[in-house]
Amino acid sequence: MLNLIGNYSLVFALIISIIILLLSFKNFKSNNTLTLNFFSIISVQLFLICLSFITLVFAFVNSDFSNLAVYFNSHTTKPLFYKISGTWGNHEGSLLLWLLVLSLFNLIFFLKSKQLSNSFRSLAIFFQQIIILGFLLFIIFTSNPFQLILPIPVEGLGLNPILQDPALAIHPPILYLGYVGSSIIFSSSLAALVCKGVNKDWAINIKMWTLISWIFLTLGIMLGSLWAYYELGWGGFWFWDPVENVSLMPWFCLTALLHCTSVLERRSKLQSWTIILAICTFTLSMSGTFLVRSGILNSVHTFANDPERGIFVLIFLTILILMSLIIYFKYNNFDEVTKSFYLSKESAIVVNNWFMMYFLAVVLIGTIYPIFLEVITSEKISVGPPYFNQLIIPFLIPFLFIMSLGPKLDWIKNKKNELKIIKIILLFLSILVSYLIVKNFSYNVLYLTILISASLYLLFISIIDLKNEKLKFSQKISHLAFSILIISIILNGMFSEEASVNLKSGEEKKISKYLIKFEKISKKNIDNYTSLKAEIQIIENKNRLKFYPELRIYKAPETITSEADIKTNLFNDNLVVVNYLKDTDYLNIRYQKKPFMLLIWFSAIMLAIGGALGLRKN
């Protein structure tokens, strides 16, 4: 019964979507006021999609194995929390969650845009409904979460064990809020183009949606990174995995767009570039959906599904891109105000936008090049950290210096030519500190000295800027957070240490300066898995640390996972991960020391808080 309710709710939502499309287009043509009836029909659509999602949640909670999605992704022994999170821990359920957020944002946009023209609002809802209609068709005809299975199985296959984690349970909904927020930006931009409404009022409205999308995308990326760090045992926060890159690319675009809307709020500049960034942000979000669900990416994050489903997304994405390009070239008739390139705040924003687009291009090429190479030559390659580090880090240096000085420039044209003594002192202090750090640890002196100097200079300037009353508090917090993030990442990469050894229980071995003792292993049955907990002691000089990493043997599905034991303090993370060596009595024991990990997570949260503070005046 629940499956029928959920399925028919989607069908009725599809019918209403078509009605909203017709009504919104009619209102745009006639420039009619959007009435209470219009609000009611959008609310009904949201209610139907919400009802469908709730029925799927109930199916997972009650272990209704007549539902194919529940059968493949749940099990009676699963804890309740993971039964609920299993609703969106699969292809079909995640799409339904995506659709729910789409319809929710559509209603919020309708309520929050009352100060804008009726024709603009009608057209924006029209474009948003095209996206909602596409997802409804995709779900109903290719990815229906309410397909039935007969005869009804007694037991389900279970949720992938590595997905049974609190951070990953809330990671997809938060990430989707970031992705789906870009759909409002996309729809609003196309409507503003057609209605010739790319102005200050529109910039203020779209900046709110840009901030919302940016905040949730930042938090979503951070949660995914945190999960990979302690659950997968990678020993780091970022490995340029293809699906990591897919989430990072729209973040670059959103960051650039956020700064462009600040310019547009004050002056009639960068309209075309703002529209292009808005279209690109949504395109990259949708491209990520295609790559993750098409089966062409090899990653632990991807949904293993029939590539034919990816074809639907690709066709739909192509239609949206062509539609946006046609509208852009037909209605883009902006006259750029500036003829000269003055030293000003907006000039600094434009230059930093260029850097953002360069970083985006590097990540995009590194992600899709292996795909095209495999199609053309059948050769499989993986593009890893060396490629990204060599192409991004040299350009990160001027980017950080411009980010340090840009906020203090004036709008239109900088009239102040004096160079404050404090800036010179901070620059020399940054160079001196970075030189001492690099010299004492025998690294490539010139290269790393410049890199650390740039990051330290941004950090010092950001701290000084906390007293600058001309800058918004949200901007000061975000820039300070970003400076802490960058310096933490650099120092983390420089000073990380690792030792790996294969040992039996009761054995010990010295690797470099570390004595690793495998003292014992204990077995315990917990919920739906068996825990094998190792007791390992790491001795460095007179420092002794005890760790209790786990191997978990899940019953449904039968899988062995590794759970790292991490000891955290302000300056270091010490972690141990064990892995089973097949057909032996040995465990591979990997000990890692990762400095400043706590600062990396803290700065990412602080970055999102800075964005949230920016919503107060929007």
Q: Report how far apart, in Å, the C-alpha atoms of 237 and of each of 3, 527, 595 are.
A: 40, 29, 12
Amino acid, single-letter form, for residue 342: Y
What one-character-per-residue DSSP string does 337-376 give? --SS--SSHHHHHHHHHHHHHHHHHHHHHHHHHHHHHHHH
Tokens linked to 325: 């390009």
> Over 50: is that where the pLDDT of 418 sits?
no
pLDDT of amino acid 561: 83
Query: pLDDT, tens digit, for every residue of 196-243?
Result: 888 888 988 899 999 999 999 999 999 988 888 877 666 678 888 888
**Angle at CA 285, nearest 5°, toward 21 and 608?**
110
- Does this model's pTM top 0.85? yes
| Sequence-distant (≥ 6) Cβ neighbours of residue 518 within 8 angstroms | 503, 504, 505, 506, 507, 508, 534, 535, 536, 587, 589
| Residue 338 confidence (pLDDT) | 47
Query: Could you tell me which residue, 604 or 233, shows the higher pLDDT?
Result: 604
How far is residue 316's CA from residue 335's CA, in Å, rounded to a whole number? 32
- Predicted local confidence at residue 268, as pLDDT: 75
Q: Is the pLDDT of residue 340 over 50?
A: no
Residue 398 has pLDDT above 50, yes or no: yes
- CB proximity list for 198: less than 8 A, separation 6 or greater: 189, 192, 264, 271, 274, 275, 334
Quick: pLDDT tens for 130-150.
999 999 999 999 889 999 988
Secondary structure E strands in 413-496: none
- Which of 284, 279, 406 has the alpha carbon at shortest distance from 353? 406
Q: What is the pLDDT of residue 243?
A: 81
Average pLDDT, the chain: 86
Residue 34: is its pLDDT beyond 70?
Answer: no
What is the rounded average pLDDT of the residues 408-426?
A: 68
Alpha helix positions (H), 378-420: 385-405
The percent of residues in the chain predicted with pLDDT above 70, rounded, is: 91
Whole-angstrom Cα distance, residue 116 to residue 125? 13
Q: In whole angstroms, how far apart are CA 300 and each of 162, 231, 295, 611? A: 9, 12, 11, 30
Q: What is the pLDDT of residues 514-527, one digit of tens each?
A: 999 999 999 988 87
Closest CA to 214 of 166, 248, 263, 170: 248
pLDDT of residue 304: 47
77 CB-contact burial (10 Å; exposed 0-12 / middle 13-18 / buried 19+): middle
Residue 466, amino acid: L
Q: Which of 122, 109, 409, 455 is nearest to 262 (CA)?
A: 409
Calculate mean pLDDT across residues 574-591.
Answer: 88
Q: Which residue has the higher pLDDT, 253 or 513?
A: 253
For residues 176-199, b (16+ Cβ closer than 10 Å) or e, as one string? bbbbbbbbbbbbbbbbbbbbebbe
**How many residues in the chain?**
618
Q: Which helix (H) or strand (E) holds 443?
A: none
133 neighbors 183 (Cβ within 8 angstroms) = no
Report residue 107 as tokens. 């209603």
Task: Tell me: pLDDT of 447 over 80.
Answer: no
Q: Which two tokens stand for residue 572?
A: 């270091």
- Of 593 and 418, the structure prediction assigns the larger pLDDT to 593
Name the band, by pLDDT with cuts 50, 70 and 90, for residue 383: confident
Question: pLDDT per residue over 107-120, tens digit each?
Answer: 999 988 888 888 89
Round the CA-based radius of gyration of the chain to a whole number and report it. Answer: 26
What is the per-residue pLDDT for 618? 45
DSSP 158-198: ---GGG-SHHHHHHHHHHHHHHHHHHHHHHHHHHHHHTT--
Higher pLDDT, 184 or 169: 184
Position 132 scores a pLDDT of: 96
Cβ atoms of 309 and 293 closer than 8 Å: yes
Structure tokens, 190: 């196309």
- pLDDT tens digits for range 469-512: 878 889 999 999 999 999 999 999 888 888 999 999 889 999 88
8 Å CB contact between 406 and 460:
no
Strand segments, DSSP code E, in 197-344 are none
Name the pLDDT band for 36 (thresholds 50, 70, 90): low
Residue 77's SS3 state is: coil
- pLDDT above 80 (res 563): yes
